[in-house]
Structure 1
Amino acid sequence: MAESDGQEKTEDPTGKKLSDARKKGQVPRSKELGTAALLIMASSSLLFLGGYLADAFIVMMTDLFTFDRDTAFDPKQMEVMFATGIAEMLLPVAGILIILFCTGIIANIVIGGLNFSTEAMMPKFSKMSPLAGFKRMFGTQGMVELLKSILKVSVIGCGVWGILHVTFEDILNLSSTPLSASAPRSLDMLTWMFILLCFTLIVIVVVDVPYQLWNHNKQLKMTKQEVKDEHKDQDGKPEVKARIRRLQMEAAQRRMMGEIPDADVVVTNPTHFSVAIKYDSSRNGAPIVVAKGVDHIALKIREIAREYEVPVMRSPQLCRAIYHTTDLDKEIPSQLFVSVAQILAYIFQLEQFRKGKGKRPVALPAEFEMPDGFKY
């Protein structure tokens, strides 16, 4: 079916489309499956419980029509006999009704599953429109229902004719048979007639169930644009996602900049890269990277370091090696322990010298020798 924009519904429904349809009560259902299951189970119940039902019927009829003169003229006995007759039939009839009740529920949720929708219960004025009714009546669904009805009548009619043709003489002979024998016999014949007729409905079910599944999927098919719009709505618009990522990056940068005043040293490229390192002796681990950045962020790291008097050391190769190999809040690789340890030792000795507690430390080399795999 073409949409107003010219696109055809060629795409299978997405999970969200199916979920929304279920909320509206739009699930595949087969009335023919429910009807056939009920009738087949009813006939099967009569087959297995028919003898019990026939015996109860004979007892009930015997009790109701066997009485003396005093009972016939006693109004109270009428109520007692009626209650006794009902009690005789109650148990077998109740068993059959319970079986049919359970079958009706199960058969109707086999296709589409159990679904409860308050939205489907709400009245829709569009269904009250005569024009909409004519469209449904003469539309594709109406034609399908008409064809199913014709097929159903044809199949059941042929079945009835065949059964009556075979059992006609037996049915006539029942009138000359005593009640004790005719009741079970007639019920047995009725049961098998019922079973044969019910099984003819399987032909309708075999046609209807695949059609209902196909028609449900067809009604929910989507255009390519609808699929794209749904993905966009679920994933978020690109500009919104970009803004969220930008805000997340800004928040992460603020947290990172807040760690710089507690760093022990900032190693620089010195122009394009900056890495802030902190060593916590209580953790018994390697120094960790608390901040790192390039270009503008690298410059900002150096500005904050100078503002809070964090030592800034120039070591281009070591700075690049740490930047490319170590994530934030992670320990530096073991291959760089020696170089970083020399810088931290130099910073510590320099602080002691400024406090007058030691000698001026020997200046560090302009570059440290980087191991293979750490040269950037």
Structure 2
Amino acid sequence: MSDEPDKDDRTEEPTQRKLEQAVEKGDVARSQEIGTFFVLCGFTLALLIAAGSSAREATLQLRSFLMNAHQVPSGGDALFHVTAKGVMTGFAALALPLGFILVAALAGALIQHKPLWTTEPLMPKFNRISPMAGAKRIFGKEAWVNFAKGLAKIMLVGVGVWMVLWGERDRLQSFAQMDVSALLPAVLVLTIKLMAGVLAIFAVIAIGDFGYQRFSWYQRQRMTRQELKDEYKNSEGNPEVKAKLRQLRAQRARSRMMAQVPKATVIITNPTHFAVALQYENGQGAPVCLAKGVDAIALKIREVAGAHDIPIVENPPLARALYATVEIDEEIPVEHYQAVAEVVGYVLRLKRRRA
């Protein structure tokens, strides 16, 4: 029996930590069709850019060899050098096309996920040698999906190739009467047309397969209720995680508070340490504290207020008292009504005077 939970028990969405752990183990969504598509792109690009020059270089070398074949010495060392030169000529002709294909293959892997360095896939897993697990891999859902995908690729590519060749059927008949010098460029043009059709088909296949692989990978990461409880328990019991959560909550609260500053009526400050943003509208019972802070936060409140042309009034005793006694989104205490009313009245009179 396997210790792995049944798929039917995995009813919970995976947490961010679960997804990160899967990536750390090398379990990522990866589509072979994306790699195949990029390799075909590299091959087609090699045909467009390097096929002509590589073929001309190889032709010149071969022509030179055949014209001077009678001068080739028949000794062992000389024959070895001639063979080595021929091999090097072949490598030189194929180096650029192979370089295009290699770069395209690497791009196809990197575009799906950043490089990962892990030994997890190399570790032995005894459940892989289980006959039941092997039967599931052979006759399971994934095997049938791959089988259907292979059939669909063969059919779609076959239809695409047939459509291209059918449109060129008149030209194909003339290939038999062509000279070799004219035949090779014609074959190259036809090959590029075929590759263009195949690439168009593989682009659709690759996009669809990547979406399926992504969906399948996400489904594999789903969790049972017990796994979710265990992860929550482990995460909440970690002091570093708690500190990180507190930091995130403080940052979010600070961001929400700063977003309220532009609505303030007045900012009451101690010039260097405290800042309290108050809002008051006609008919309102008492001014409400929208934001408050000391030092760096107070400086940020003053900067936001200056950017939105909100009056800033320096009153150190009142700023310190309000900071100590009023909370965010609460009305100011009764004992500060008179002092705040004087400040708000001054600001409103200033606004009317400006208007």
Same-fold status (TM-score > 0.5): yes
Aligned to 1:146: 147
1:43 matched to 2:44? yes
Deviation track 1:54-94 (CA, whole Å, cap 9, x = no partner) reads 21232133123222534376766655554444444433421
**In structure 2, what residue type is equivalent to 1:124?**
K
The alignment yields a C-alpha RMSD, in angstroms, of: 3.3
Deviation track 1:4-28 (CA, whole Å, cap 9, x = no partner) reads 7998434332122112212322111
Aligned to 1:69: 70
Max Rg structure = 1
Change (3 A) 1:173 1:65: farther
Q: Which moved more, 1:4-13 or 1:58-67?
A: 4-13
Aligned to 2:229: 228
How far apart, in 1, do the equivalents of 2:78 and 2:212 lie?
58
Post-superposition offset of 1:193? 2.0
**In structure 1, what residue type is equivalent to 2:26?**
G
- Conserved? CA contact 2:38–2:107, under 8 Å: no
- Conserved? CA contact 1:29–1:212, under 8 Å: yes
How far apart, in 1, do the equivalents of 2:201 and 2:127 lie?
37
SS of residue in 1 equivalent to 2:72: helix
How far apart, in 2, do the equivalents of 1:69 and 1:41 lie?
40
**% identity of equivalent residues:** 28
How far apart, in 1, do the equivalents of 2:7 and 2:174 lie?
70
How far apart, in 2, do the equivalents of 1:92 and 1:53 lie?
5
How far apart, in 2, do the equivalents of 1:220 and 1:97 lie?
38
Instruction: Give the TM-score, by structure 2 length.
Output: 0.59
- Conserved? CA contact 1:22–1:117, under 8 Å: no
1:24 matched to 2:25? yes
1:216 matched to 2:217? yes
How far apart, in 1, do the equivalents of 2:222 and 2:103 lie?
34
Aligned to 1:184: 185
How far apart, in 2, do the equivalents of 1:111 and 1:121 lie?
21
How far apart, in 2, do the equivalents of 1:198 and 1:111 lie?
18
Q: What are the residue-to-residue correspondences of 1:37-116 with 2, within 5 Å?
A: 37-67=38-68, 69-71=70-72, 78-116=79-117
- Conserved? CA contact 2:157–2:201, under 8 Å: yes
Deviation track 1:265-301 (CA, whole Å, cap 9, x = no partner) reads xxxxxxxxxxxxxxxxxxxxxxxxxxxxxxxxxxxxx
Post-superposition offset of 1:176? 3.5
How far apart, in 2, do the equivalents of 1:210 and 1:65 lie?
54
**In structure 1, what residue type is equivalent to 2:132?**
L
Change (3 A) 1:236 1:85: same
SS of residue in 2 equivalent to 1:37: helix
Q: Which moved more, 1:3-12 or 1:132-141?
A: 3-12
Change (3 A) 1:88 1:70: closer
Aligned to 2:167: 166
1:205 matched to 2:206? yes
Post-superposition offset of 1:210? 0.7
Q: What are the residue-to-residue correspondences of 1:277-316 with 2, within 5 Å?
A: none
- Conserved? CA contact 1:10–1:223, under 8 Å: yes
How far apart, in 2, do the equivalents of 1:188 and 1:77 lie?
40
Post-superposition offset of 1:237? 8.7
**In structure 1, what residue type is equivalent to 2:236?**
D
Instruction: Give the TM-score, by structure 1 length.
Output: 0.56
Deviation track 1:218-260 (CA, whole Å, cap 9, x = no partner) reads 110123443232121111199xx9xxxxxxxxxxxxxxxxxxx
Change (3 A) 1:70 1:91: closer
**In structure 2, what residue type is equivalent to 1:118?**
T
- Conserved? CA contact 2:58–2:93, under 8 Å: no
Q: Tell me, which stretches of 5 or more residues in structure 1 are unaligned?
A: 242-333, 336-371
Deviation track 1:135-158 (CA, whole Å, cap 9, x = no partner) reads 122222112111111111111111
SS of residue in 2 equivalent to 1:201: helix
- Conserved? CA contact 1:36–1:202, under 8 Å: yes
- Conserved? CA contact 1:59–1:88, under 8 Å: no
Aligned length: 242
Change (3 A) 1:204 1:184: same
How far apart, in 1, do the equivalents of 2:156 and 2:8 lie?
41
Post-superposition offset of 1:180? 2.7
How far apart, in 2, do the equivalents of 1:77 and 1:170 lie?
46
Q: Tell me, which stretches of 5 or more residues in structure 2 are unaligned?
A: 243-316, 319-334, 337-355
Change (3 A) 1:74 1:145: same
- Conserved? CA contact 2:45–2:100, under 8 Å: no
How far apart, in 2, do the equivalents of 1:26 and 1:75 lie?
54
How far apart, in 1, do the equivalents of 2:189 and 2:52 lie?
8
- Conserved? CA contact 1:58–1:183, under 8 Å: no
SS of residue in 1 equivalent to 2:50: helix
How far apart, in 2, do the equivalents of 1:182 and 1:149 lie?
34
**In structure 2, what residue type is equivalent to 1:236?**
G
How far apart, in 2, do the equivalents of 1:227 and 1:79 lie?
68
Post-superposition offset of 1:177? 2.9
Change (3 A) 1:165 1:14: same
**In structure 2, what residue type is equivalent to 1:101?**
L
How far apart, in 2, do the equivalents of 1:58 and 1:35 lie?
30
